[in-house]
Chain A
C-alpha cells in the first residue's frame, strides 16, 4: 500500500489488534501519521486548546470571550483534533488550497472519534458554509468534506455571503457588523443542539457568528468540532 500523503510504500497492518478487529488499515504511513500532533491532555473547557498543568480551567482567550455579554455565551464549546504545527499547515494547504480532496480520508478515524467523545448522535451536524464564489473557486467545501466523515447526516442550514479579506476593524466591530452567515432552508430549530463543523478554530469569531444565527432561530445550544486548534 502507498501512503496517501508521501506516496511511499508501507505495511498498513500496524498491530495484531488491528488485524483481529478488522479495522480499516491506516491510509498514512507511520512516519506521516506520526508527524501530526493530536491534542491530548488537559484542555480549556471552552475552546479545547491544550493547557499547562497549573493553568485555570479556561484559557485567557476564552476568559475574554466570557466577559462579553452578548457573544460570550454564543458557543458552548469547541473541540479540535490536532495542533496547528508546520506539518499540519502544509497538509491543510495541499488539501484545501491545492484541492487534494481525498486527503480528508487521513482525518476520518480521529475526527469520528472526537465527534463521538465530545458530541454524539443527539447533536445536529451543520458544516460552516463557503460563499458561492469561494465554493466555485475551490470546487468543494472543506468543512462539508469533514462533515461527510461523520456517522450521522449533516444539514446545510446555513449560507454565507461573499466577504473580502478581513479588514483592519477591531474585533468588536467585526463581531457586530461582519456576520457573513444567514439561514438557508431549515426545519424549526427549536430546542435543537447543533454542532458546527469547520477545519480551523483560530479566533473563534467565525463559529460564533454562525452560532448566533442558529441561536436566534431557536437552537438550544451550539458547539463546534474543528479539525485544528490554531
Chain B
C-alpha cells in the first residue's frame, strides 16, 4: 500500500525537488524562476566561490587550481573562470547561478515494500540487521564484506524500513555497469516503488524517486535529497575522483541522514579506524556459499618486462596459461599497463587466436567481456580496470607483474576475489607472478587469510 503525502508546491518546485542545477538548465521561463527565488521557494547560490586558496566549485567541490581555467565569456562579458572537473555535467563558471528548492517535499510511505523471497545466510542476516538499525538511527556505518558475500541483499531490509518511513534512498557507485546491473535487482525486490536510474546516458537522471541509483558524476545533481545514502564499492573510485565523491555525498544527503559505505577492501586508514573503534563497521568475512576465499600463491617470474621486449613470456607464466588452455578452464590474466597488454596479447594469440585483451579505454570492451562470459574466449588479458564487476562461475586468475605499484592491496584482493564466486565452483587458482615481492602483495594475502580465519572463528564456513 502507498500512502501519498499532501503538498501544494508549484510545478517548478516539484520539478527541481532534490536537485541543484545551473539556472539556465531549468526548463521554465526565467521570469518564473526569478519569482520563485523572490518568494523564497527556490534558493540561489553562485557556481564558483573565491576562497583564500583560489576558486572552489560549489557543485563538485573542486579547489585544485590546475582544474580551473578561464575564457572570454559571452554571457557576462568578462573573463570568466570555470571548473574543468565537472564539465561533463555542463560548465559551471563564475557567472553561473545554481538553484535548488528551499524545502524538501514530503514523500509518501510504502507499507511492506519488499517482495524478495531469497534467503540470507547467517552472516548476511546479522549484517542486514546492523545496517537496518544504522538507517533507522541515521548513523554512519561501513559494511566490510568480502568479494562474493552478497552485499546487495544485505541492504534490502534497511531500504524497506526506510521506505516504510517515507524516506528517500540514494545509492551511488563509481561505474555505469554496476548501476545497470543493480537496477533490475532493485526493481524486482521493490516492485511497487518507483526507481530512478541516473547515469550519463539515462533520461531519468536528476528525477527524484523514493529509490535512486546513480553514478558518482550524476550524484552531483542531487542536493539535500536523501535520508539514506549508500555508497557502493567505495574503494573502487579512482583516486582522483575520491574527494569529489565525498563532496557529492555530503551535498546529496540530507543533514539528518544515514550514510552506509559498502566495501570489500577498505583503505588502510579506514582499517585502522575500524580497529580502534573510531568508525562503526560490520564485517562479513565469509562468502554467501560458506566456502573460504581462495588464497593467492606468489611465484617469482624474473624480469618479465625485459622478456616481453624480446618477444617472450616468462616460462612459468607461459606454462600456467598453457595448462588452462589444455584443461579448457577459463582465466583472467592481469597486466599493469596497456602497452604490456598489447604485447602479451600478441604473444598469446600465437598459441590461441581466441585470446583477447581488454583495457578501460578499449571501445570494444563490452563485446569482449560478453564473449568471455559466453565462454567464447578462453583467456582474457586485462588491466586492473576490470577487476570488479565481472563475475564468471569457474575461472582462475593470474597477475603478471604483481609488484607494479598499480597493484595495491585493494586491487589485489579484488583480483583474487574474482575466483570461486559460484557455489558450484568455490575454489580456483590465484597466482601472483612477480619480479620481487611487495608489501602490498603481502598485505593482500594477509587480508584474505585474516578474513578466512575470522569466518572460521565465527562458524560461518560450511566445511
Q: Are A99 and B87 in contact (CB under 8 A)?
A: yes
Contact of A140 among B66, B73, B88 (CB under 8 A): B73
Q: Are A136 and B84 in contact (CB under 8 A)?
A: no
Q: Which residue on chain B has the smallest CB distance to residue A99?
A: B91
Secondary structure call for the B interface: mixed
Given A140-B73, A140-B74, A141-B74, A100 and B93 contact (CB-CB distance below 8 Å):
no
Q: Are A139 and B91 in contact (CB under 8 A)?
A: yes
- Residue A65, interface by CB 8 Å: no
Give the docked Cα–Cα distance between A94 and B87 (Å): 9
- Residue A98, interface by CB 8 Å: yes
Q: Are B69 and A100 in contact (CB under 8 A)?
A: yes
- Residue A2, interface by CB 8 Å: yes
For residue B368, give the distance in angstroms from its CB to the closest CB of chain A: 19
- Residue B82, interface by CB 8 Å: yes
- Residue B72, interface by CB 8 Å: yes
Q: Are B69 and A135 in contact (CB under 8 A)?
A: no
Q: Are B87 and A140 in contact (CB under 8 A)?
A: no
Q: Are B72 and A140 in contact (CB under 8 A)?
A: yes
A residues less than 8 Å from B66 (CB atoms): 2
Give the docked Cα–Cα distance between A94 and B66 (Å): 17
Interface residues of A in 123-156 (CB under 8 A from B): 135-136, 138-141, 144-145
- Residue A71, interface by CB 8 Å: no
B residues less than 8 Å from A145 (CB atoms): 71
Given A2-B66, A99-B91, A139 and B73 contact (CB-CB distance below 8 Å):
yes
Give the docked Cα–Cα distance between A40 and B240 (Å): 38
Q: Which residue on chain A has the smallest CB distance to residue B66?
A: A2
Give the docked Cα–Cα distance between A94 and B72 (Å): 17
Q: Are B93 and A139 in contact (CB under 8 A)?
A: yes
Q: Which residue on chain A has the smallest CB distance to residue B67?
A: A7
- Residue A36, interface by CB 8 Å: no
- Residue B405, interface by CB 8 Å: no
- Residue A20, interface by CB 8 Å: no
For residue B27, give the distance in angstroms from its CB to the closest CB of chain A: 14
For residue B77, give the distance in angstroms from its CB to the closest CB of chain A: 11
Interface residues of B in 54-94 (CB under 8 A from A): 66, 69-75, 80, 82, 84, 87-88, 91, 93
Give the docked Cα–Cα distance between A99 and B82 (Å): 9
Q: Are A101 and B88 in contact (CB under 8 A)?
A: no
Give the docked Cα–Cα distance between A144 and B73 (Å): 12
Q: Are B84 and A100 in contact (CB under 8 A)?
A: yes
A residues less than 8 Å from B91 (CB atoms): 98-100, 139
Q: Which residue on chain A has the smallest CB distance to residue B96?
A: A139
For residue B67, give the distance in angstroms from its CB to the closest CB of chain A: 8
Give the docked Cα–Cα distance between A186 and B73 (Å): 23
Q: Which residue on chain A has the smallest CB distance to residue B75?
A: A139
B residues less than 8 Å from A138 (CB atoms): 74
- Residue A21, interface by CB 8 Å: no
Give the docked Cα–Cα distance between A45 and B82 (Å): 41
A residues less than 8 Å from B70 (CB atoms): 101-102
**1/0 contact string of A1-42 vs chain B (CB within 8 Å):** 010000100000000000000000000000000000000000
Give the docked Cα–Cα distance between A139 and B93 (Å): 10
Residues of B with Cβ closer than 8 Å to A? Answer: 66, 69-75, 80, 82, 84, 87-88, 91, 93, 240
Residues of A with Cβ closer than 8 Å to B? Answer: 2, 7, 94, 98-102, 135-136, 138-141, 144-145
What are 24 A-B pairs with beta-carbon distances under 8 A?
A94-B87, A98-B87, A98-B88, A98-B91, A99-B71, A99-B91, A100-B84, A100-B87, A100-B91, A101-B70, A101-B71, A102-B70, A135-B74, A136-B75, A139-B71, A139-B73, A139-B74, A139-B80, A139-B91, A140-B71, A140-B72, A140-B74, A141-B74, A144-B72
